Structure 1
Amino acid sequence: MLAMEFKAVLSKSQQKAVDEAIRTSKFVRNKVLRYWIDNKGIGKKELYRYNTQLRDEFKFVKDLNSHACQASVENVERAIKRFFDNCQKKVPGKKGYPKFKKHCRSVEYKQSGWKLSPDKKSIKFTDNKGIGRIKLKGTWDLWWFDSAKPTLREQKLIKRVRIVKKADGYYVQFCVKVNRSEESKNTGCAIGLDVGLKEFYTDSDGYSEPNPRFYRKSEKRVKFCQRRLSRKNKGSANRQKARNRLGRAHLKISRQRKEHAKRLARCVIQSNDLVAYEDLKVKNLVKNHCLAKSINDAGWRQFREWLEHFGQRFNKVTVAVNPAYTSQNCSECGEVVKKSLSTRTHTCKCGCNLDRDHNAAKNILNRALSTVGHTETFRNAWGDLASTFPDSGLVKQVSSLNQESP
């Protein structure tokens, strides 16, 4: 799946109509969830039947497209399934019991309730919410395929259309079912990456990418917006404006972090045939309150997801390695050299003297190659899949990221 995002140009009346559609979607989701809580043991058929009852009972629900209401029921269904899966797998900690939505910012349509215009610059929503025709601004081309082929609507490649409300305006997202793959030359290179806080990552060749620290640099502005927000009266228009300014500040930071991770991941994947990295449990790492802000600011998880995404797209192998003792073991002789987090230089009695992160990156690469094999042979062995391996200290790979900006 590929997500294409466009900025929406809306009038005041259209903004109110979109907000009403979002509230209706939230209402359906919360009502269906309450019905499931009050009636233990019911299945998804009963949830969809209750959705039909809601449409007959409330006119504002019937005004929303039926597939949009079904999408809200699907959100509840996925939350319930995720909860039971976590219980069966005995996931430690909270199992993710489904919760009611207080703040909802999107409404999702399936393959009905909307129609693309022939000029490819606008989309019209045909339900009774009164959204109407929305002008689209963006660089994506929904008609990028051969003009001799049928249209996207005839092929039904667009599976979802979502209207999202963000701090800086409204956006229309298209989820397109398409497999993107690009040919790339084999470089015969393999690399190991050790992410950190001092440097964003250090590879097995000794190169270090500086950590941009986007949140740290914008923290003064964020705190200023937070103070302005706290001084406004609750429920006032000025408080809403201050809240929006704070949201735009956080949105800018998240976009900077995303583009930085995407740019680096693409360069690393295109320059190597195999990329090895640590399988870090970031959720557990941020429990250290002394380092939580810096870890979240680095965006390690997002960087890994983009590595896996571009690995599948360019037919490269990505390997997640068990991070245990990658910093303590010597990359030359394998001897365990105990060191604290403040010790930044690895010194072994065998004569190996390296930077701590450089030594860890070499250990990560060695662990990956011990199972995958040499760089000249693993591409023939594993074909066009980005691979991970369950044995020899390697763990399962998560699903790739589906969104990509131009």
Structure 2
Amino acid sequence: MIVLEFKLKGKKQQYRVIDEMIRTAQFVRNKTLRYWSENQGVKLIDLYKQCVIMAKEFEWAGKLNSMARQASAERAIFAIQRFFANCKAKKPGKKGYPQFKKHTRSVEYKTSGWKLSSNKKCLTFTDGFAAGTFKLVGSRDLHFYAPSEIKRVRVIRRADGYYTQFCIDVERIGESISTGKAIGIDVGLNHFYTDSDGDTVPNPRYLRKNEKALKRLQKRVSRKKKGSSNRKKAINKLGRKHLYVSRQRKDFAVKTALCAVKSSDFVSYEDLQVKNMVKNHKLAKSISDAAWDQFAQWLQYFGKIYGKTVIAVAPQYTSQDCSACGKSVKKSLSTRTHICCCGAVLDRDHNAAINILEKGLKQAGISLNTVGHAEINAWGQNVRIVG
């Protein structure tokens, strides 16, 4: 499954209709969730039936395409299933009890309620809302995909406009080139990551760099009268700036992960619990700005596409243990140099990256001595890794 995104170009009146579509989708989801909460023991399949009942009971809800109503109900169903899965797994902390949504920003269609033009450069919504035809602005080409391969069409409202995403049921396979290299990656705040070869990638700190501008825009919002048009404009400018920062962060995570995967045959990284780490209020902003979770997700994604082995290992003791002799060397977070009695002296993150690589190779069933070589028989060929 791949997702292609385009910006929707239309008239102001058409955008107002999209807002009505989004509000209706939010109503269907919340109404479905309320029915589940008020009727204990109800089956999830009964929640789909509520979509038909709502269409008859509320005329404006019937304007939304039937499959779009089902997709909205599925959002509530997924939230319910996730809650029960967390309870069954005895996940520590909050289990994520389904909540009613107040600020939904998207509506999702399946295989009906929309139509592409013959040149596939325009999108028309054909349900009861009759939002009309929108021009698709983007660099991707939909001519490579048959209409039957498009399984979902999602409309999203963002601070800088309206977008549509086409979820296409095709398998993406990249050209895999063997490099014979294995690396361990230790993410951090001083450097974004340090690998087992000692190479580092600087931390861009996009939020920190734009923090002054964000504070200024936030002050402008607070000074405007609530409910006024000027306040709405100020909120929109603030939202655009936050969107700009998030796009910078995503672009960096994607390109860095792609480079790490394509330049190596084996990648091992820390399986960090970022949700727990941000509870440290002194480091929460810096950790969130680094986007380690997003980077890890893209590592796994590109690993599957290019047929590379990407393994997440437990982060315990990777910084404390000596990569040369294995002896534990206790050090505080402020101690940036690893010094062991065996004579090993190297950067703390470099030491951790070597330990992460050894853990990953061990987890994959591969032995690697600090001197010597290891061979991986994978992807139909022998890959020789230098230790």
1:196-207 matched pairs, under 5 angstroms: 196-207=188-199
**SS at 1:303's partner residue?**
helix
**Separation in 1, partners of 2:180, 2:224:** 60
**SS at 2:143's partner residue?**
coil
1:61-72 matched pairs, under 5 angstroms: 61-72=61-72
Per-residue displacement from partner, 1:284-329 (whole Å, max 9, x unpaired)? 0000000000000001000001111100000000011111100010
Indicate the residue corresponding to 1:102 in structure 2.
Answer: 102
Indicate the residue corresponding to 2:12 in structure 1.
Answer: 12
Residue identity in the other structure for 1:221: A
The 1:371–1:54 alpha-carbon spacing in structure 2 relative to 1, beyond 3 Å, is closer
Q: CA deviation at 1:182?
A: 1.5
1:64-213 matched pairs, under 5 angstroms: 64-144=64-144, 152-153=146-147, 156-213=148-205
**Separation in 2, partners of 1:50, 1:313:** 39
**Separation in 2, partners of 1:205, 1:343:** 20
**Separation in 2, partners of 1:187, 1:32:** 52
**Separation in 1, partners of 2:181, 2:335:** 30
Unaligned runs of 5+ in 1: 146-151, 384-406
Query: Structure 1 residue aligned with 2:276, among 284, 309, 314?
Result: 284
Q: CA deviation at 1:378?
A: 4.4
Indicate the residue corresponding to 1:49 in structure 2.
Answer: 49
Q: CA deviation at 1:119?
A: 1.2
The answer to whether the 8 A contact 2:65-2:127 is kept is yes
Residue identity in the other structure for 1:53: I
Residue identity in the other structure for 1:336: S
The 1:378–1:304 alpha-carbon spacing in structure 2 relative to 1, beyond 3 Å, is farther
Residue identity in the other structure for 1:183: E
Indicate the residue corresponding to 1:215 in structure 2.
Answer: 207
**Separation in 2, partners of 1:159, 1:68:** 12
Per-residue displacement from partner, 1:15-38 (whole Å, max 9, x unpaired)? 111001011111111111111111
**Separation in 1, partners of 2:16, 2:343:** 70
1:292-331 matched pairs, under 5 angstroms: 292-331=284-323
Indicate the residue corresponding to 1:390 in structure 2.
Answer: none
When normalised by structure 1's length, the TM-score is 0.90
Indicate the residue corresponding to 1:27 in structure 2.
Answer: 27
Q: CA deviation at 1:380?
A: 4.7
Aligned length: 375
**SS at 2:375's partner residue?**
coil
Per-residue displacement from partner, 1:315-358 (whole Å, max 9, x unpaired)? 00001111110001000000111111111000111110000000
Indicate the residue corresponding to 2:370 in structure 1.
Answer: none
**Separation in 2, partners of 1:40, 1:382:** 56
**Separation in 1, partners of 2:324, 2:342:** 8
When normalised by structure 2's length, the TM-score is 0.95
Query: Structure 1 residue aligned with 2:266, among 270, 274, 281?
Result: 274
**Separation in 2, partners of 1:123, 1:51:** 25
Per-residue displacement from partner, 1:198-243 (whole Å, max 9, x unpaired)? 0000000001110000000000011111111011111111111111
**Separation in 1, partners of 2:151, 2:182:** 37
Identity among equivalent positions (%) equals 56
Residue identity in the other structure for 2:168: V
Per-residue displacement from partner, 1:49-77 (whole Å, max 9, x unpaired)? 22211100111011111110010110011
Residue identity in the other structure for 2:257: A
**SS at 1:377's partner residue?**
strand
Q: CA deviation at 1:143?
A: 1.8
RMSD after superposition:
1.3
**Separation in 2, partners of 1:126, 1:166:** 23
Q: CA deviation at 1:157?
A: 1.1
Q: CA deviation at 1:45?
A: 2.4
**Separation in 2, partners of 1:380, 1:66:** 45
Relative to structure 2, which stretch is displaced further, 368-377 or 97-106? Answer: 368-377
**Separation in 1, partners of 2:44, 2:176:** 44
Residue identity in the other structure for 1:235: G
Indicate the residue corresponding to 1:401 in structure 2.
Answer: none
The 1:117–1:380 alpha-carbon spacing in structure 2 relative to 1, beyond 3 Å, is closer
**Separation in 2, partners of 1:50, 1:219:** 46
**Separation in 2, partners of 1:371, 1:101:** 41
Indicate the residue corresponding to 1:387 in structure 2.
Answer: none
**SS at 1:376's partner residue?**
strand
The answer to whether the 8 A contact 2:307-2:379 is kept is no
**Separation in 1, partners of 2:35, 2:97:** 15
